[in-house]
A and B are shown apart, each in its own frame.
Chain A
């Protein structure tokens, strides 16, 4: 089966610019997650969707980050405006409903200059 797809793989922008990341989960996976992984740290959950509804966005910096999953399939994460500290790898993961493993995409490495 196809895995979780993410694009772009790499992005370099200047601070105060905007950027968007795209994720397509594994077919049939109702739950979708966005994580931020700063160099040298473990992934930190930003937002969790179940179908097209938000389950948890308590750690999403809502003044600059937004995410949507309009049709309950693919998702977009946006940062506007970007700050230097947003430099990280943004990982998307998906899972079936329940305490199942999460399947991760390859990530998007964002560098903010």
Chain B
């Protein structure tokens, strides 16, 4: 079974600064990876996904992530954050035919003015 580790539980950053949210997954023959964002009292919304192909994945709201197979990582980045990016971010990994996802414990991104 997959395991997903989000290395930082909280990341405070000033507005317009760059940010990186880290995610590591357990090794698997074939893996697919997702980043979701959760705003207060809402469900999860997909930011971006890696299924195959290019290792640099671009998502919504200016976010991107890079799949690194050798380091089993899928870190999320944004070059300049806004106050509205304040939310909880979840990394998820899946593999196999059952298409189930294992989620990390989440990273709370707080953008400060």
Contact = CB atoms under 8 A, between A and B. Distances in A.
A95 interface: yes
A99 B32 contact: yes
B56 interface: no
Interface in A12-64: 31, 33, 40-45, 48, 55-56
B101 A102 contact: yes
Contacts of B74: none
A46 to B, nearest CB: 11
A31 B99 contact: yes
Given A99-B94, A101-B34, A101-B49, A91 B44 contact: yes
Nearest to A9: B41
Interface in B69-113: 90, 92, 94, 98-106
Interface of A: 4, 31, 33, 40-45, 48, 55-56, 91, 93, 95, 97-107, 109
Contacts of A45: 100-102
A8 to B, nearest CB: 13
Given A56-B98, A99-B94, A101-B49, A106 B103 contact: no
Contacts of A91: 43-44
A99 B51 contact: yes
Given A56-B100, A99-B94, A41 B105 contact: yes
B100 A106 contact: no
Contacts of A97: 99
